[in-house]
Amino acid sequence: MNKNSLLRIGCLMVFLFSCNSKKKSTDKIAEQGKPNVLVLLTDQWRAQATGYSGDPNVSTPHLDSLAAQSINFKNAVSGMPVCSPFRASLLTGQRPLTHGIFMNDVQLDTNAVTMGKVFAKAGYDTGYIGKWHLDGHGRLQYIPPGPRRHGFQFWKGNECTHNYNTSVYYDNNDSIRKIWDGYDAFEQTKEAVRFIKDRKKTDNPFLMVLSYGTPHAPYHTAPEVYRKRFDANTIELRENVPEPIKEKAKRDLAGYYAHIAALDDMIGSLVTNLKETEQWENTIIVFTADHGDLLGSHGAYKKQQPYDESIRVPMLCRLPENLGIPSGEKDAILNSEDIFPTILGLCNIPIPETVEGINYKGYLEGKETVIGDVALITCVQPFGQWNRVRHGGREYRGLRTLKYTYTRDLKGPWLLFDNEKDPYQNNNLVDSPDYIDIQSKLDLLLSERLKVNGDEFLPGMTYIKKWNYPVDKTGTVPYTH
């Protein structure tokens, strides 16, 4: 009997064994109604920068409390660590070369099957507050109701801004440009609280995506009360920050943590409101980020590069008790395109055929154990800040496993790290005699993954031309305000 036959028999046995438990789980949900979904999306918050992850520099008590009651995908990654690509994968459950958003400041196809559309069709009140970055018509321009909002009915959003104290937004049906009053994360949270309270007046469950612009740079613009908490002189740096930029990294990290402390208070406010409105017991909360921030590690800043500070993101999933899924840490390497199908699975909403990501519901229920042990990481076309660094950016394809990070650029093997022995990724093992067999196996696995995905790994400009994106000399899509 061949391997595929055994796999089919195994899957059938698991299905037969789990039918009753699946029915019980579904019945429990039916008794209480469809769960609400609150997605808390942050910008450039790396996985290491929380109290519950052991960061010595920051206290995040509200987030730590949420983590203690959540599934913690401690190895989650942003498969293409850039703003727009992640957001498109979050909303569609597709990989970047499928939905076409592998650059910032381009438009997601209005015909795409998205989170907002699917939940609205399932009877949910859908809302979006904050940074969008999927419209491609200018970063401060109005996004009208209809196809360009992808199924989100309530709207207080902006395309993209990082002026957190003079932050632009637009109301539901109002094309007049408005400014959030003060630090935008505070006002966006208040608006989300109002949305949640208003849902008590209806019989419909809600999907709310609250998309914060912080802790993305500029790092020193959080309210003063938070900035005063962090002294740059006491910041403990990661071991991979080189000497010449240590002082700058400390100063910037102090501001970065100030933004994080402010967001932590906002998370506490949201949890309190859910409990006060008696919606806590029936609300799924997903907390994550679109990518991380190098912040001096490996002598670099921001994202795009395949190091852990860039690709690894926090990923908490707090579930109602009636789902019967215990909280705790999970090893599976959940990727960007996996979030949407997993949420749909937990809500018992059919997953569209367009989705390419993994539904982790069975894994969380303990019925599947061999999924999510490797994730694909990608840079289709380096642009902007990374294309202006000393050696210039490079296209890459790679794998993040539980133990290794391996990447290949257009010339061949580029980086190999043993993340257990070298957690700060200081020692590149490519072509090392002691790791040549591991490198060969990872390279073969990467080739197989690319073949399955239909990814030929061509130069970035090939894809730019295919999607007809206009770029400047740095390979960046120019944008206007």
What residues does 405 pair with on adjacent strands?
400, 417
Q: Is 133 a catalytic residue?
A: yes
Q: Which helix (H) or strand (E) holds 361?
A: helix 361-364
Q: What is the CA radius of gyration of the chain?
A: 22
DSSP 8-state secondary structure symbol assigned to residue 386: G
Choice among 133, 150, 216, 291 that is catalytic: 133
Q: What would the DSSP string read from start to end of 89-146?
A: HHHH---HHHH---SSS-PPPTTS--HHHHHHHTT-EEEEEEE-----S-TT----SS
Question: To the nearest 5 percent, what fractions of the chain are helix, strand and coil?
Answer: 40, 15, 45
Identify any residues that bridge with 400 across adjacent strands, giving them in sequence order: 375, 405
3-state secondary structure (DSSP) of residue 442: helix
- The sheet that has 154-158: what strands, in order across it? 154-158, 125-131, 206-215, 36-43, 283-289, 315-318, 70-73, 328-330
Give the CB-side neighbour count of residue 72, counting CA atoms within 13 A.
Answer: 16
Kindly provide the residue ranges of all beta strands, DSSP E only, lying in 299-449, ordered along the sequence: 315-318, 328-330, 374-379, 396-401, 404-409, 412-418
Q: Is 62 labeled as catalytic in the residue annotation?
A: no
From its phi and psi, is residue 300 left (phi > 0), alpha (psi between -120 and 50) or beta?
beta
Question: Catalytic one among 83, 160, 317, 379?
Answer: 83
Tell me if 256 sits within 8 A of 45, measured CB to CB. Answer: no
Q: What is the DSSP string of 42-103?
A: EES--TT-STTTT-TT---HHHHHHHHTEEEETT-B-SS-SHHHHHHHHHH---HHHH---S
Strand 178-179 relative to strand 70-73, pairing = unpaired
Q: CA–CA separation, 342 vs 2, rounded Å?
A: 30
Strand segments, DSSP code E, in 293-373 are 315-318, 328-330
CB atoms within 10 A of CB 275: 12
d(CA 278, CA 434): 57
Greatest Cα-to-Cα distance within the chain, rounded to the nearest angstrom: 68
End-to-end CA separation in angstroms for the chain: 62
Residues noted as catalytic? 83, 133
